[in-house]
Structure 1
Amino acid sequence: MVATPITATSRYIPPGTTHYYWVATIANKSAPTRAELNAGSDLTAEVASVSGFATTSDQQDTPDLGSRFVSKIPGRITADDSSITLYLSSTSSDVRTLLPRDTAGFICIFPEGDTAGLKYDVFPVKVTGQPKARDVENPAQITIQFSITSIPVENITVPS
């Protein structure tokens, strides 16, 4: 007997598809409303790169005297250091005013776009820094650094 294959994927690349929103207020991070998402700011067109925004679980050894094999159990969940690098404007009218240090809110990541019925992730965050790139050859950029302040909600359904 052969195992049943999983459903074939419809593959895509993130540019032109994935969206990043900054949302200042969400009452229930497990079920943001369409109105809350619409009240946010779409960062997508200014995003140069993204780092982090992923969770992992530690593995804890559970040895016993009954066997030489050391089994493991899931441990604590942690979030990677996270940041979004965006472009600066020559008029200073950019993300610096939206996300100053110590601003708390939510980064909502829509991997396949903001389309009702698809999945997205909500990361509760606090801005920890705004280092600017000091490159003399490339477009001016700023990296908004975030602390993930509580467990993110992943793979929730985009509301209508």
Structure 2
Amino acid sequence: MPRFSRKGITKVLFLETIAASTFLPTRAELTGATKLTKEIAEFEGFNLENEEIETPDLESTFNSKIPGNDSAADSSLTFYEDDASSTLEEALAKGTVGFIVVLRKGDVPASKSMDVWPIRVASKSSAITIDNEAAKWTARFSITDTPVLDAAVPAAV
């Protein structure tokens, strides 16, 4: 099985809206999206976690479990701060709703590697440091609905 590094392959986009109630963006919507990939310094969360339910019984000393509720892990993106433009900070202002789209294997039409996360920006904060590093800011996201995982990337036009 060929392996790959996400760096240089995975794409991350922000869409303000997706017309379909299924949360599946069209090629035109992906093309018009705000591209985040190049500005991302850190990627955290954007995965599902399950609260398993213990189901012990009197017949065994083993505590079995069944799947319970799903929830999204705490999710955030840390960006490099741009000293000439505030386009991303404005696009991802606190309270903004939209979608984070992750093309895990790149923009490869028909690849079932697109995840769509309905979000609201919960907070936005700058990291202030005197260390020898690039200026950064972080957007934290509330996942507002069930994400679409492993969807097919729309065909190129």
What is the TM-score with the length of structure 2 in the denominator?
A: 0.90
Of residues 22, 32, 55 in structure 1, which corresponds to 2:14? Answer: 22
TM-fit CA distance, 1:70: 2.5
CA distance in 2, matches of 1:67, 1:43: 51
CA distance in 2, matches of 1:101, 1:43: 17
Question: Which amino acid in structure 1 is aligned with residue 64 of structure 2?
Answer: S
CA distance in 2, matches of 1:90, 1:63: 57
Identify the residue that residue 49 of structure 2 maps to in structure 1. Answer: 56
- The 3-state SS of whatever aligns with 2:53 is strand
Identify the residue that residue 94 of structure 1 maps to in structure 2. Answer: 87
Question: Which amino acid in structure 2 is aligned with residue 55 of structure 1?
Answer: L
CA distance in 2, matches of 1:112, 1:67: 44
- Structure 1 unaligned segments of length 5 or more: list them: 1-7
Deviations 1:70-95 (A, max 9, x none): 32110010111101111111124331
Report if aligned partners of 2:24, 2:116 keep a CA contact under 8 Å in 1. Answer: no
Give percent identity, aligned residues only: 39
- Structure 2 unaligned segments of length 5 or more: list them: none
Q: Aligned Cα RMSD in Å? A: 1.4
Q: 1:39 to 1:92 in 2, by over 3 A?
A: closer
Question: Which amino acid in structure 2 is aligned with residue 24 of structure 1?
Answer: E
